[in-house]
Structure 1
Amino acid sequence: MTGIVCVLLVSGLVGPIVGTAMAHSGGAAADELDDAAHPLTDDTAGSAADDQIVGTEVDRLIGSVMAEHDVAGASAAVVEGDELVHAEGYGNADAAAGTPVDPNETSFMVGSVGKLTVWTAVMQGVENGDLELDEPVGTYLENYSVEGEDEVTLEHLGTHTPGYEDRLQGLFVDDYDEADNWEPKLERELPAHVRPPGETVAYSNHGTGLAALVVQEAVGEPFEEYVEREIFEPLAMEGATIEQPVPDDREPVSQGHVPTEDGFETDDPVIIGVPPAGSMSATATDMGNFAIAALQDGVFEDDRVLEPESAEAMLEPRATNHPDVGGVGYGYMLGERGGEALAWHTGGTEYFNTLFVLFPDHDVALYVSFNTAGSGAGLADVLDGFIEQRFDSEAGEATLEPDPATADRADAYEGEYRSTGFQTTPEKIVGLADAHHVSVTDEGYLELGSPLLGGETRWVELERGVFAPDPDEDDAMLTSRLAIEDGTLYTDAPAAPYEQVSWYETTTAQLGLAVVALGAVLSTLLVWPITAYRSRGWGRMRTHLTRPRLAILAGTGLLVAFVVGLLANGVGDPNQFVYGYTPWLRLTLAFLLGVPLAALVALALVGLEWYRVATARDLEASSTTPLGLAYLTALTVALLVFAWQLWYWNLLTAATF
């Protein structure tokens, strides 16, 4: 269970932080931040009174959010037109050492926000004639071969519609050498192609890595060097880098933090196994400069990194899963919040959570990054507060009221919906955490909650099947729309669609079946010794172990060995569930292969017992009592249920994953 929890906790890492945020946290660490979250002197912003007002309001907003969410340090920038009007550091880059965050010097790991450099590089390649968006990626991969290379195009990759399922294992690694050799690793670990390209928006870390590989092959030099020369240098992003570890001339880099009762624990940033997908580190001023180029048609000061047509094309709608939810431009997520159009991207690693937002209608951009685990919920608070401050508009829709007619359509909406992001691998079990239980109240509210993790949010129907968050909702959310149609739940891009599952596939049914089946087979460890002793005595115990009982005991022993081994592996090295399985974990997972075999042998042997009973038409014809035969039958069913669940969750192949 430890390993499963570890996998579930990282299911959102190196990716956009979308969906319902968790409830706000408090504690002693938050009290300390009331004093810690004071900005440094800003040497970058202009001196105009308006700029000072913007800075003061942003400072107050971020300081409040940091205190509420137990954040050790933050880095932020605000852009208006072609000017960086505000760049600040807040709190500590290293709480243990008391090192403050400097907006011009301290780099934060921005995670998936760094993917925007990949899509910028692709557009540069198109402009130079080295690449074509509609050409299959296999055209450019002379040294590599990947599944779907004859169908998937750069257009698909940039809109997160290539058709690959998701994969967690391998996104993080524990040594820099493996990250340096990311190209063959990507080729080897690219997820399965599970849907036609262009059909569905479904966020793909590996798809981004594949696009970076295409750029690298087309330009004939390492992707990191290309981005450094063609993007970072012209944009004066002096602290930005994709390299791991961060070069000495790009330090200092903020430590990662975990809130404790006494303050914060610190740790080094994680190592990303597919660097283009999320290894980028940058300062607030770096990201401000990048935002200026994005808003100014590819120009920063006297340097151009993109032609106007390319810059505009990246912000135009290109794909969506449903017309009433947010879609995708080229690399950017597109949507609306508080009546304002957004082009955005978020990034999350183990300790860092980052938000990068463009407001194209106003030539305004916001960047904010937190260096503390579990701080993702605060990003929505910052975004909503900024929209209210800067544009004098509310993020919520205050006039929304539930429609009683929604309750009449409850049957069309209610049920459990699970993400389609994971399908063919053992990581399908992550779907237990990425699932939504939908119910409808008598008043007409649609209530959305996680069957496994708890928490609940309320939504109001805007039109048939389309919902917005209840304005009185307390929990912060970055998802601003959801739609339910034909048994599928859609949220803002880039989340994959959620399909409604049958009753026996729901979280409650699956966990209930597992608990009952495990309790049944484990009962043999108590029931059979007692019955054997009472009927035969210890001296004749061996005769009690008939072949059906031995088959069931074998299956029970394998399950016990698996559970004990899983706990031992989880306690000893929990990171392996994401970083890569150790031989000991693979051995533990191999025990599961014997469970279906034991179940089939037990089925055959217990079937023979029933055959004898049926032939003789006498329950006493069995090798055991009628009650004992019923017990054997129930145990066989329990083993078969386990075997089916192992198949359903793809766990029978886990040892080779």
Structure 2
Amino acid sequence: MKLVVALVAGMVAVAAAASQHAAPSQPDPSGPRTAASGPSRASAAPLTVSDLGNWMDPFMRDTLSKGRIAGGQVVVVKDGRTLFQRGYGYADLAAKRPMDPTRSQMRIGSTSKLFTWTAVMQLVEAGKIDLNADVNRYLDFRITPPGNRPVTMADLMTHRGGFEEGLKDVLATDPKKLKTMERYLKENRRPFMFPPGEVPSYSNYGTTLAGYIVQRVSGEPFETYVQRHILTPLQMRHTTLAQPLPPPFARTAAKGYRTTEDAPSPFELVGTGPAGQVSTTAGDMANFMIAHLADGSFGNAAILRPETVRLMHSPSLMVRDGFDTLAHGFFHGRRNGRVLLSHGGDTVVFHSDLNLLPQEGVGIFVSFNSRGEDDAVYPARERLLELFLDRYYPVAASRTPPAIPSAAADAKAIAGRYESSRRVETGFISLFYLLQQDQVTANPDGTIAVSSISDKTFREIAPKLWREVGGARQLLATEVEGRRAIIDSNNPVQILQAAPLSRNGSVFQLVAGLSLSVLIVTGIAWPITAIVRRVRQRAPGVTGQAARVRRATRIAVIANLAYFAGWCMLLAPILRADVGFYNDSLDGFIRVLQIGALIPLAGAVLGAWNSLMAFRSGEGWFARIASLIVALALIGFLWAAWMAGFIGWSVNY
């Protein structure tokens, strides 16, 4: 049983890795625990170079040291100029090359999307793209969603295209394995999980589709378009979309690390290019932020008209007060009473975050070249923004309103397992999403906790509205597509949906764990029993057809374990966050495993047949019960294989 527990624990670790690595980047839109609105009443520090240095320098040095992060870059802009930029730690640990915010290129992951959305808005401004038109108008292949509602560019910009998540060909380290954008989109089409325009589900595929539309509409390769129309006007001379890096950039680029104790990771090639392919410096990102804060202008150049910038920065969707939304690609919310436009980005080893305060004319960008020990970069990145806002734009602490009378009963009603709308339901990657479901817990004091929102509890302050105790974050209980759902005020790109019994992760782990336990014990016990029987010269318990069926059932048990081991070999690289492992070269092995689905199917039939014959043969109750347990384990394993996505015929995952 311990072996099975270890296997299940390993799978949960895989699921956590998949959650963070299954795409070249995934923004973490959770904001600081501060008041959502209200005038500044606390004393603000002066936003000056000296004060930024006095605060930022010790924070960054302490963050790098404690988190075992190799290096980082920070830049702050204000009123159309770069106010502060500094590098910390190392761009190359072995060579002791310091991090240079003007020369050390960093991979910025999904923060790259802002360049794609800026390019889209340029073409909207030119009348070449209609945000509300069917995207098929601009494509040379068809997107066919369920129902009559087409996918629009506006849907792609708000991550409401309806696509499932995907892993295959998302990252690579070998340039020969990197597909062109066109090949990726056509060969790795993602199934639809939701009708377009209805449910938020963060999608790198959708952003890549938008980049392909930019390429087709403009008549220029996507990388060339961004270079000519964004990077060159903004004088971003140390920025490139090229993969791999051109030699001049390769010599100056920062190396990426898991932690300071590890060797540098290979350069990450992003298959979903428009969703995460930019390499840049903090100094260059300052120019990008200045342009967005100055109505599209930088010096004598303009990348967008003022009215287009205002449109781009305005909410694309109206939401409940206090809840974040999307603004034509930007995350749009309020922190410390200020409008905040933001976008984070992650590859496996590089992590960045861009935040704009448009009403204050201020922007801050940070980038790290390590994941850090125990994923230290994620809380560090959030903490940096939280402290920046509290220092320079503070507000008085908010007070959580009292709970409504039905809070305790409502907490019990909302408790249970939930799955993110950003998930996979087809293919073997769906296993990870079964294992990483959220657990909503009702606490004895009537508050609730959500497993993915650590160290926070929520109190029901109005019917179906829960607010963070001591903070501003809110959860709204609602219904989506006939299922109970939870909307997080800080996360506009996904929701939580109550997991039905058929997809309940706890049920899956229980059935899979017990089934594997029985099969492992049986696989070990039967050979031992046979040896003991032979040594003691005992006659077999059954003969004839019953004996043959029993022998076949034993073979099926071993075959099922071998089949499971094959899938473990395929899934193991995710434990190392080796996302680049998953590409077309695995298709043959996956096909073999898919054909191998005949093994659990045959095993379930043989197990049931063997148990039936045991009950009919007049054997002792021990033998009958043992055969029944084995039969149930084989049937349970078949069900688990089906739920895990092991049974199917698609190599698109």
Q: TM-score range by the shorter chain?
A: 0.7 to 0.9
| Equivalent residues in 2 for 1:507-518, closer than 5 Å | 507-518=505-516
Corresponding residue number in structure 2 for 1:488: 485
3-state secondary structure, aligned to 1:457: coil
Q: Distance in 2 between matches of 1:289 and 1:243?
A: 20
3-state secondary structure, aligned to 2:476: strand
Q: Distance in 1 between matches of 2:283 and 2:425?
A: 40
Corresponding residue number in structure 2 for 1:355: 353
- Within the alignment, does 1:293 sit opposite 2:291 as a pair? yes
Q: Distance in 2 between matches of 1:577 and 1:288?
A: 31
Using the TM superposition, give the Cα deviation of residue 139 of structure 1 relative to its aligned residue in structure 2, in angstroms. Answer: 1.0
- Contact (CA 8 Å) 2:170, 2:579: kept in 1 or not? no
Q: 2:582 aligns with which of 579, 582, 593?
A: 579
- Contact (CA 8 Å) 1:114, 1:278: kept in 2 or not? yes
Structure 1: runs of 5+ lacking an equivalent: 22-47, 473-478, 611-618
- Contact (CA 8 Å) 1:402, 1:445: kept in 2 or not? no
- Contact (CA 8 Å) 1:168, 1:578: kept in 2 or not? no
Calculate the aligned-residue CA RMSD, in Å. 3.0
Using the TM superposition, give the Cα deviation of residue 175 of structure 1 relative to its aligned residue in structure 2, in angstroms. Answer: 1.9
Q: Distance in 1 between matches of 2:618 and 2:72?
A: 71
Corresponding residue number in structure 2 for 1:87: 85
- Within the alignment, does 1:598 sit opposite 2:591 as a pair? no
Using the TM superposition, give the Cα deviation of residue 182 of structure 1 relative to its aligned residue in structure 2, in angstroms. Answer: 2.6
Using the TM superposition, give the Cα deviation of residue 16 of structure 1 relative to its aligned residue in structure 2, in angstroms. Answer: 3.1
Corresponding residue number in structure 1 for 2:224: 225
Q: Distance in 2 between matches of 1:103 and 1:301?
A: 21
Q: 2:366 aligns with which of 362, 368, 379?
A: 368
| Equivalent residues in 2 for 1:92-131, closer than 5 Å | 92-131=90-129
Task: Render the CA deviation track for 1:524-545: whole Å, top value 9, x for unaligned.
Answer: 2344345556667668669667
Q: Distance in 2 between matches of 1:590 and 1:470?
A: 52
Using the TM superposition, give the Cα deviation of residue 576 of structure 1 relative to its aligned residue in structure 2, in angstroms. Answer: 6.3
Corresponding residue number in structure 2 for 1:192: 191
Q: 2:275 aligns with which of 271, 277, 301?
A: 277
Q: Distance in 1 between matches of 2:598 and 2:354?
A: 46
Shift in CA distance, 138/367, structure 1 to aligned 2, threshold 3 Å: same
Q: Distance in 2 between matches of 1:57 and 1:534?
A: 73
Q: Distance in 1 between matches of 2:420 and 2:130?
A: 32
- Contact (CA 8 Å) 1:438, 1:446: kept in 2 or not? yes
Corresponding residue number in structure 1 for 2:258: 258
Corresponding residue number in structure 2 for 1:392: 394
Using the TM superposition, give the Cα deviation of residue 290 of structure 1 relative to its aligned residue in structure 2, in angstroms. Answer: 0.6
- Within the alignment, does 1:243 sit opposite 2:251 as a pair? no
> Comparing 12-21 with 74-83, which one deviates more in the overlay?
12-21
Q: Distance in 1 between matches of 2:174 and 2:436?
A: 29
Q: Distance in 2 between matches of 1:321 and 1:202?
A: 16
- Contact (CA 8 Å) 2:159, 2:201: kept in 1 or not? yes
Task: Render the CA deviation track for 1:74-108: whole Å, top value 9, x for unaligned.
Answer: 11111112111111111111112111111111111
3-state secondary structure, aligned to 1:562: helix
3-state secondary structure, aligned to 2:304: coil
Corresponding residue number in structure 1 for 2:437: 435
Question: Percent identity over the alignment?
Answer: 26
Using the TM superposition, give the Cα deviation of residue 372 of structure 1 relative to its aligned residue in structure 2, in angstroms. Answer: 0.6
Q: Distance in 1 between matches of 2:48 and 2:528?
A: 82
Q: Distance in 2 between matches of 1:131 and 1:114?
A: 20
Amino acid at match of 1:565: G
Using the TM superposition, give the Cα deviation of residue 456 of structure 1 relative to its aligned residue in structure 2, in angstroms. Answer: 4.9
Q: Distance in 2 between matches of 1:430 and 1:523?
A: 25
Q: Distance in 2 between matches of 1:554 and 1:7?
A: 31
Using the TM superposition, give the Cα deviation of residue 237 of structure 1 relative to its aligned residue in structure 2, in angstroms. Answer: 0.9
Task: Render the CA deviation track for 1:1-39: whole Å, top value 9, x for unaligned.
Answer: 568744641422323332779xxxxxxxxxxxxxxxxxx
- Within the alignment, does 1:622 sit opposite 2:623 as a pair? no
Shift in CA distance, 49/548, structure 1 to aligned 2, threshold 3 Å: closer
3-state secondary structure, aligned to 1:224: helix
- Contact (CA 8 Å) 1:124, 1:306: kept in 2 or not? yes
- Within the alignment, does 1:78 sit opposite 2:80 as a pair? no
- Greater RCO, CA 8 A, separation 6+: 2
Q: Distance in 2 between matches of 1:533 and 1:268?
A: 51
Q: Distance in 2 between matches of 1:291 and 1:93?
A: 23
Corresponding residue number in structure 2 for 1:407: 408
Using the TM superposition, give the Cα deviation of residue 655 of structure 1 relative to its aligned residue in structure 2, in angstroms. Answer: 7.2
Q: 2:627 aligns with which of 608, 616, 632?
A: 632
Amino acid at match of 1:266: P
Normalising by structure 1, report the TM-score: 0.85
- Contact (CA 8 Å) 1:200, 1:321: kept in 2 or not? no
Structure 2: runs of 5+ lacking an equivalent: 1-6, 32-45
3-state secondary structure, aligned to 2:596: helix
- Contact (CA 8 Å) 2:519, 2:561: kept in 1 or not? no
Shift in CA distance, 67/8, structure 1 to aligned 2, threshold 3 Å: same
